[in-house]
Structure formats: structure tokens, C-alpha cells
Structure 1
Amino acid sequence: MGRFWDKFRGSRYPDSGATPLPVADLRAALLALNGSDVPFVVRDAQPEEQADLVAEWRIAEPAWQTFFVRSQLDRQIRIRMRLVPGKREVRALDEQWEVTWVGNTTKVPTLGKYSRGSTTTISKQWTYERGPDGRRRRVETFSFDSREMKNPLRKTVLGAGWNWRGGVFNL
């Protein structure tokens, strides 16, 4: 039953024979993922976050408008990571908040959704426009995939010889 839950939660293990790096080197490798070419930031966690490191990606999806109402979804995705040196594993918990901003002239936040666990979020938006041949075609205007943040984190952890334990946040 253990392998089923590992797959369900998104846990991964390094290649056999991989030499685990010390916790300080793993932390430095995860913080080194920051840069201008990545759409997320890895930072030290605040005490109230109950983690060692946090990776954050805030997304503001393009606004849509009907005759009377303009709306925009604001989404925050965060991965809290706890480093467990005794087991050579990183316990990761995905969290996501969605807030919809509705209003004509003044935007007011409406109740959003909150989810946590091992999640994958994909969001795409398209519009229709005329192509060079005059035919209508669908053009992607917005794309987001949470794996663009999680995969580099997981790859760094596994490359350091540590286990990635997804959806678990126990002490």
C-alpha cells in the first residue's frame, strides 16, 4: 500500500547510488534556483509558515469583462518545504488560494478557494482572431502550469540525493 500512496502524493526517490549532499548544500542549491529566468522565488520561510523554505508563484490571470462586470482571478501558489536531515527527505506541501476581483470601477475581492496537498494546476485562456488566410483561429493568450515550479524544485532535491515527499507535512 505504501507505493500507491507515494505515487498518489507525488513522492519521488533519487537514483540508487546517489550520494546525499549535506543539508546546507541542498538549501543553497534550492535557493540558487532564484533568477530572472524563472517565474517563481524560493525564500527562507517565516516562523508562522512552519517550514524551512518556501517557493512562491503568484499569478494574475488576464481579466475578462461582460457588459456590466469586469472580473479577474488572482491565484497564489506556494510550496512549503521542510528539510528532514535524518531521513534525507524534503517534505513538500502545495497550497493554492484563488481570489476573484469583481467590480466595474472599483474592484472588490470575492470569496476564493483554498486547497492544499500535492496538486497540479494548469490554466489556459484563448481568444479567437482572424488568421492571415481570413479564417477564424484560436490563439492562446494565457498559460500557466504549476509543474514549471515544482519540477525544478523536485529535480534539485533528487539530484542532491534526497527524497521528495509530496503532500506530507508532519514533524
Structure 2
Amino acid sequence: MKPNRRRIIVYVICIVAAMVVPVAGAMLLGLLGPEPYLLDENSLGPEWSSERRFPDGSTVSVTAYPSPAAATRAAESISKSIPASSTTRTLNVARYTRADDQRRGLLLPVDRRVVHVEAADDRAIDARLRSLPFIRENPDGSLLWILFTRHAGVAVSLLGLYIVAIGIFMARGASWAAEITPGPQAAAARADTLRSRLLALNKLDIPFQVREESDRLVAEWRIADAQWVGLMEAGGLHEAHRIYMEFDEDRHRVRSLDVHQTASWSAGTAQLSGSFSFFRGISFFERSRGAQYGLFYRDGRWTTKAYDYRFVLSEMKAPLVQAIVGSGWKFTPVVSLSRPFARLLG
């Protein structure tokens, strides 16, 4: 029993669309929208043919180019040539902080000109820009420019909310895509019956066990079992998988959380990594293979392979899923079993 491939495909397409469409839309809006500033060539006298320095320490230079496209390319080239410790862009307007003297700067391509302003801080830059007689803000500027310049706090808040919404959608969508459901005719067994069936897997000759932990069940490799530890170490098993299972009796589903920890071996004992180096969440696919080669006598004949066992997460899951779905319950992978987030994340 495996997750529905169509659900996984739909989920991936939705995630890609949720990330690509807003970015592409913003870029298109920026490219096709009106310019944020307008230039009045008649007010641009000969005094602006060279860089001008003002009493407040700000400087302004205006350079002409053959076309607006050439001006935009020139502004990008100038931005790259300046030793800057940080640079931000809104549409084609760049703001930077110089690495040498920490002065702030602005590069504004407008029509065929590039206006370059430097000052002590952004407030001085904005004041100098407003004082220039040949340039003014476009009253019909694009929505994107207005949002990120006049209402930056709102823009950041909206962006933060969108990121949170995407995170919730990814978590709930992953649970939906990876969920395995029973057949329409399957009757749901009692929770204690299902728990007994899962614990009964310990009677089988398999390399994992199911144990009780509080009100949950945990399936994990038998990394401390003498029968299996030698095979796992020699076979190069470097990930210790755990599957935490929590029963949701109201909805007849088992919420499942995959946990992977890095395992290192020393004298037949597995050492598991700390919390900073493991991954928690939903695993759609996982594969690992262990084999030991040499010259061995087994089953009445000589062979060069002592064993060939796949330590595959799906092989641990398969008996669990079969017991759960066969009992009329859903198998629902989740990214968290924490009570505060359970209802929000699925």
C-alpha cells in the first residue's frame, strides 16, 4: 500500500505554483507597470553635467545614456562596481551601504538618465531626491512600488502572512498527499484492537520493533538486538528511523511522524546523533541497502554474499500501514504531533 501518486503530483504542482506565480506576477507587474519617477528634461540645466556636492554632505550626479534600456543596464553595472556591504532593490531602484565609509546611496534609472545620490542616511537621500528640480514621483506609479515604498510595513506584514500560509498549506497538503485510506467497505476496528495488532508485529522475524510510549506507539529499527545489530553495522546502516504513531479515534486515523537520526557504530553499538542533526516530518520515499561480501558457507554451499537486506523505511512502514488500513483506519503522515499545532497542521 502506497500513497496516491496523483495526490503527490497535484501537491507538488500546487507548491510550485504557490511559489512561482506570486514572484512571476510581481516581476511582470514591475516590468509592465509605470515608472516610479518622471524626468523633466527642461529643468535639467548645464549645472548637472558633473557631480554636485551640497552643504549637508550629500552628492548628486546625473548621467545620460542613449536609451532607457541602456540607462537601466548602466545603473546595474554601477551598482556592481561600488564596494557595498549591503544592497537592496525595489523594481529597478537600488539602495546600498558603502563598505568603506558606510554612506548610503541610491541609483535611479529614469528615462535616459541615471541619477546617483549619496548621503549619510536614507532620510538625507530622500530629502535630496525630493529637492531635485528635474525629477518627481509618478502619481500613477505601480502598485508594487507604492506598497514597498510608502507602505513598507504593510508589505512586510503581508509577505510574512503569505509565508506562514504557505507553510501551513505545505504541511496540510503533504499529509493529504501522503495519506493512505482503507477501502470503502472496510469497517473500522476498535482502537485497542488496532493497537494490539501493531504490537503483535513484534512476534515476526523482522528488523524493527513496535513499542508503547505514553499514549503513542513507536516503530524503530532493532539497533540493540544482537540478531540484527551485526547485519546493520556491517551493512552500513547510517540512519536510524523512528515512526511515531498517535491514534485519532474520532476520525479513525493514525497520525504518523517520521524521524530520522544519523547513526554511527562503535564496537557493535549504535550512537545516535544529537537533536541538531535529525530531520522530522513526512517521508514520501526513502531507500538504503546493506550487504556484506566475502567468502561464506551458508545453506550447504559456499557463497560470496552473507546477506543482502534492504534497510528501507518503506519496508518498515508496509506492515504498519497494512495493519492500520486493514483495520479500517487511515494512515496519515504529519509534520508534527505537538498538541498546539496538531489541528493547524493536520
Give the TM-score, by structure 1 length. 0.68
Q: Deviations over 1:15-59 (max 9, x none)?
A: 01211011111111111111141211111114xxxx511111145
Determine the C-alpha separation between the residues in 1 that align with 2:272 and 2:221: 21
Residue 124 of structure 1 deviates from its aligned partner by: 3.5
Residue 110 of structure 1 deviates from its aligned partner by: 9.1
Determine the C-alpha separation between the residues in 2 that align with 1:101 and 1:121: 20
Q: Deviations over 1:100-124 (max 9, x none)?
A: 3479xxx9x6967412222223234
Higher helix proportion (structure 1 or 2): 2
What's the secondary structure of 2:203's corresponding residue?
coil
What's the secondary structure of 1:34's corresponding residue?
helix
Q: Which residue of the other structure, out of 76, 83, 88, is the alignment partner of 2:247?
A: 83
Determine the C-alpha separation between the residues in 1 that align with 2:238 and 2:175: 30
> 2:199 is matched by which residue type in structure 1?
L
Instruction: Give the corresponding residue for 1:67.
Output: none
Instruction: Give the corresponding residue for 2:331.
Output: 164
Q: Does structure 1 retain, via aligned residues, the 8 Å contact 2:175–2:332?
A: no
Q: How does 1:14-93 map to 2 (within 5 A)?
A: 14-46=182-214, 52-59=216-223, 61-62=232-233, 74-93=238-257
Q: Does structure 1 retain, via aligned residues, the 8 Å contact 2:237–2:288?
A: no
Instruction: Give the corresponding residue for 2:132.
Output: none
Residue 99 of structure 1 deviates from its aligned partner by: 3.0
Q: Which residue of the other structure, out of 135, 154, 162, is the alignment partner of 2:321?
A: 154
RCO higher in structure (CA 8 A, sep ≥6): 1
Q: Rate the CA distance shift 1:6–1:18 in 2: closer, same or farther, 3 A.
A: farther
Determine the C-alpha separation between the residues in 1 that align with 2:335 and 2:177: 8
Q: Does structure 1 retain, via aligned residues, the 8 Å contact 2:261–2:273?
A: no
Residue 11 of structure 1 deviates from its aligned partner by: 1.1
Q: Does structure 2 retain, via aligned residues, the 8 Å contact 1:90–1:157?
A: yes
Instruction: Give the corresponding residue for 1:123.
Output: 289
Q: Does structure 1 retain, via aligned residues, the 8 Å contact 2:198–2:320?
A: yes
Percent identity, please: 31
Q: Rate the CA distance shift 1:114–1:88 in 2: closer, same or farther, 3 A.
A: same
Q: Rate the CA distance shift 1:169–1:74 in 2: closer, same or farther, 3 A.
A: same
Determine the C-alpha separation between the residues in 2 that align with 1:11 and 1:151: 13
Determine the C-alpha separation between the residues in 2 that align with 1:15 and 1:23: 18
Instruction: Give the corresponding residue for 1:133.
Output: none
Determine the C-alpha separation between the residues in 2 that align with 1:140 and 1:117: 34
Higher strand proportion (structure 1 or 2): 1
For structure 2, list consecutive stretches of 5 or more residues without a partner in the other structure.
Answer: 1-6, 12-172, 224-228, 296-303
Aligned residues: 150
> 2:287 is matched by which residue type in structure 1?
T
Look at both structures and tell me which one has the larger radius of gyration over its CA atoms.
2
